[in-house]
Amino acid sequence: MRSVTKDNITEIFMGYVSADADPRVREVMGSLVRHLHDFARETNLTHEEWRAGIAFLEGCAAIETEERHEFVLASDVLGLSSLVDMLHSSPEATSSSVLGPFHVSGAPPLAYGGDMKRHYGGPVLLAEGTIRDTNGDPIPGATLDIWQTAPNGLYASQDQDQDTYSFHGLMTVGQDGRYAFTTVKPVEYTVPSDGPVGDILRACGRHPWRPSHLHFIVEAPGFKPLVTEIFPDDDPYLDEDTVFGVRSDLVMTYVEKPAADFPDGMALSGTLTEPFLHVDFDVVLGRQA
Ligand code: BEZ
Ligand code: FE
């Protein structure tokens, strides 16, 4: 019988993992436990700190619901969601970024040129572009699932005053791969900070802000689905996104244009009296392996 010590416990753990275990399970669990043990040894973790960690996990579980995914939020603010994303992104495709907890399935169809702003106040943003493959050719029939907050910084699912699908839309592009729609310029907002993740942010002296962004899921048969978002280049939180979602190819200039330059053939054509913002964002999808 061997005595378990603080120095050999990691090796003993590995000995407990059956030789018949799935090799990937062995690799992932082995690495996870090695890092956990090293973390405890390196920081000389106290009982009190370890209990605080367990209480954090219990606190996340206690408020985990369909609308509130505290574990995902924890992964987001620790940078783990973004890191896993970046480990598997295709270099020749548009960068992916965090999904976040506020995407809802079943968004209503939004026709080419359609409007999501409706009666909401704030600057009009015209977003348009082409969905392309890595050769630069348009991808006919690609779908663009779009979502963002209202000008109050809340997603529809967080806000009793919005319709279920306000600021959510699903556009299918034609043969030319083009999409275009109008919305209100997104605002920066805070991720939920009234739970255990908020406690961690405060303990680290971190803020809960995300730079303003417009979310997209772009899909087409034969291509890898892309979860992404775009950011304006003048946002004050661009360099300190609390969920680490900013990638340089997703930072765009929103160009201000006079109302007279607003294109024809869109839902808001002929109605604008104020200048509008314009962003051109082409999306490149990588082929499915
Ligand atoms: C979001 O952008 O919707 C989001 C992403 C991560 C955590 C919370 C919100
Ligand atoms: Fe968001």
Question: According to the model, what pLDDT value does residue 6 have?
Answer: 96
Q: Retrieve residue 54's tokens.
A: 């367990």
Residue 209 covered by a domain: yes
Residues in the chain: 289
Alpha-carbon distances, residue 91 vs 86, 188, 286 (angstroms): 9, 28, 9
Residues 23, 162 share a domain: no
Residues 6+ apart with CB under 8 A from 119: none
Number of domains composing the chain = 2
Residues 244, 183 share a domain: yes
**What CA–CA distance (Å, rounded) separates 195 from 206?**
14
User: In which region does residue 64 sit, left (phi positive, over 0), alpha (psi from -120 to 50) or beta (all else)?
Assistant: beta
Question: According to the model, what pLDDT value does residue 124 have?
Answer: 98
Q: Domain of residue 178: give its range.
A: 76-285
The model's pTM is 0.93
Torsion of CA 179, 281, 123, 270, to 10 degrees: -40
Of the chain, the percentage scoring pLDDT greater than 70 comes to 100
H or E element, residue 87: helix 80-87
User: What confidence tier does 1 reach under pLDDT thresholds 50, 70, 90?
Assistant: low
Beta strands in the chain (DSSP E): 114-115, 124-132, 143-147, 168-172, 178-184, 189-190, 209-210, 214-219, 226-232, 251-252, 255-257, 276-280, 283-284
At residue 286, does pLDDT exceed 70?
A: yes
Residue 15 covered by a domain: yes
Atom of ligand 1 nearest to the CA of 100: 5
Residues 144, 32 share a domain: no
Whether residue 195 has its Cβ less than 6 Å from ligand 1: no
Atom of ligand 1 nearest to the CA of 191: 8
Residue 61 covered by a domain: no
At residue 27, does pLDDT exceed 80?
A: yes
Distance between Cα 188 and ligand 2 center (Å): 9
Residue 2 covered by a domain: no
Residue 172 covered by a domain: yes
Testing ligand 1's pocket by substitution, the residue of 67, 68, 102 carrying the most ligand atoms inside 8 A of its CB is: 102
Residues 36, 107 share a domain: no
Whether residue 107 has its Cβ less than 6 Å from ligand 1: no
242-276 confidence digits (pLDDT tens): 999 999 999 999 999 999 999 999 999 999 999 99
Whether residue 283 has its Cβ less than 6 Å from ligand 1: no
Residues 82, 172 share a domain: yes
Q: Which has the higher per-residue pLDDT, 158 or 39?
A: 39
Residues 181, 221 share a domain: yes
Residue 1 covered by a domain: no
What average pLDDT score do residues 125-134 get?
A: 98
72-86 confidence digits (pLDDT tens): 999 999 999 999 999
Helices (H), 137-236: 196-203
The answer to whether the CB of 236 falls within 8 A of the CB of 81 is no
Question: According to the model, what pLDDT value does residue 207 have?
Answer: 98
184-243 confidence digits (pLDDT tens): 999 999 999 999 999 999 999 999 999 999 999 999 999 999 999 999 999 999 999 999
At residue 28, does pLDDT exceed 70?
A: yes
Question: According to the model, what pLDDT value does residue 89 have?
Answer: 87
160-180 confidence digits (pLDDT tens): 999 999 999 999 999 999 999
